[in-house]
Structures are given as C-alpha cells and as structure tokens.
Amino acid sequence: MRRLSTGLTVFWRSVLLAACALLLAGCGTLNSARMLAPSLSGMEEWRPGLFVEPAMSAAQRQALEQQIALGRAQVERFFGAIVTAPYFVACISFDCARRFGSYGERAAAFGDSAIRLSPDGLQAALVAHEWSHAELYRRVGGWWRISAIPRWFDEGVAVVLADEARHSPANWQEIQRRGLSTPTLDELVTRRDWTEAVRRYGETRAEDPDNLRRVYSTAGHELRGWLACAGREGLAGLLAGVDQGQAFDALYARLGCGGPGRISPAR
C-alpha cells in the first residue's frame, strides 16, 4: 500500500513537473496542454517521437524528417553531445499550430520534453534553435533552475547555434550601420522582458523582411563575443555551475571576456 502510494506521488509529481515545464518554457506564450498527449488531439505518431498532422503527405514527412536530422546534427556539432530527446509535434496547417498553443511563433520548445513546429517552422534551423533551448533547460537542472539564467543568454546560445541569416553578424552590422537602437541586456532578463522587447521592436511576425530582428540579434551578438572567449568548454562549465547552484553573473564574467553589459545601447 505504501509502495503504491509512493508510486502515485511520483507519478503525479512527474505530471505536475511536465505541466510546469510546458507552461513556463519556450519562446513566447505557451499554454497548450494538448502538447502533453498529441495523439489524443488527432496527431499521428508517424515515427517514435515524431507526431505529424495526418494530412501531411509522404514527401512532406520525409522532408521534415530530413530537416530534423539536419537540425539535430547542428546541435550535436555545437554541444559535442546531445543529452535530450524531445518529441516533435509538426503541423502543416496554422489551425493545427494554434490548437497546440501557437500564437504565430514558427517553433517552440516545451522544457526539455517537446518541440512544436508550425508550417513555417519545418526547417533545420528552427529545429536547432528550439533544441538548443531544450539542451540548456536540461543542462542547468530543469525547471527549478532555468530562471537562474537570463533570457538573453538562453536565446543568444540558440541564435548562435541555429545560425540563421536573419540573426547573422552581417545583420548585426546592418543594424549598426543604420544606427538603430537596440535593447540592453538588462532589458532582456526574464521571459516577460523578452516578450515585451520582441513586441516593442516589432519582431512578432515570422516573415517581415523590413524588420532587422534587433532583439534576437542583440542576444546573438553578445553570445558570439562571449563564446569566442569561453568556447564550448566555458559554456559547459557555466551550465554545470548553474546546475550546481552557482551564480550566473559570476560564472559569465569569469569564463568570458568581461561579463554582461558589454553592449552599449545605441539610443
């Protein structure tokens, strides 16, 4: 009886933890409990851990599988090894993406458990970006510690890893050339900070060629500089240190070239 009760406690704790991770992790506002059991909401588990909208054609499924493999390889190259195995929920209609909690994001990570891909997010770079969030989430100790790292750091690592043209060093130079204002790191610490900045700088539309993605580019620029000093070992050391309860700011300053706040806001 006691064993049964302990088992049930562990079970419910796992459920609650998963729910918390789903609600609190990822890019943007994530609120869909459907991600917990995609099959119950009409998705087809085409491969183990890959849920697709049933209307997805054979060719689309194969293309998706290839993009996930390419994205995974990007993550593996960056970290050296992958410690997470998130399952994927991939939509080819925006209705489907909305049902699973999308507010227009191309992709989103749910803790280290799952990644949702919208019709405009079925790309290796998006897989790599979201998988980076899952890896950091796991490596810093999960839900209990993810808020110990600032959002600009989490997003910056994902930007560098995914290497999208829209967040590239060339794009950063263009932002500087035009003399556009950029957020300070202090304005990008919490999830709420990040969401507000993304709104303030108009980065809410997936396709918007006139928008230079100043928020994501700021995080990417900061991390490129830091990683040039810290390297992969420094990154691993920082994540392990946070996992062990050490303060992020001290680790970041010690392992990098001078700590946060290197970016001067161009206001």
Q: Which residues bind Zn ion (CB under 5 A)?
A: 27, 155, 158
Q: Which is nearer to Zn ion, 56 or 218 (CB)?
A: 218
Please, what's the b/e burial string for 174-186 (b: 16 or more CB within 10 A of its CB; e: otherwise)?
ebeeeeeebbbbe
Q: Tell me the β-bridge partners of 115.
A: 88, 109
> In the numeric block, which tokens belong to residue 47?
């491969």
Q: Which is nearer to Zn ion, 61 or 166 (CB)?
A: 166
- The DSSP line for 66-115 is HHHHHHHHHHHHHHSS-----EEEE-SSHHHHHHTT-SS-SEEEETTTEE
Q: Which is nearer to Zn ion, 115 or 158 (CB)?
A: 158
> Residue 28 Cβ, how far from Zn ion at the closest point, in Å?
9
Q: Name the residue number minimizing CB distance to Zn ion.
A: 27
> Residue 27 Cβ, how far from Zn ion at the closest point, in Å?
4
> Residue 107 Cβ, how far from Zn ion at the closest point, in Å?
8
Spatial distance between the Cα atoms of 254 and 226, rounded to a whole number of angstroms: 11
CB 167 within 8 A of CB 157: no
> Residue 125 Cβ, how far from Zn ion at the closest point, in Å?
11
Q: Which is nearer to Zn ion, 27 or 185 (CB)?
A: 27
> Residue 8 Cβ, how far from Zn ion at the closest point, in Å?
35
CB 238 within 8 A of CB 248: yes
Distances in whole angstroms, Cα of residue 152 to Cα of each of 34, 40, 156, 159, 247: 28, 35, 6, 10, 16
Q: Which is nearer to Zn ion, 46 or 152 (CB)?
A: 152
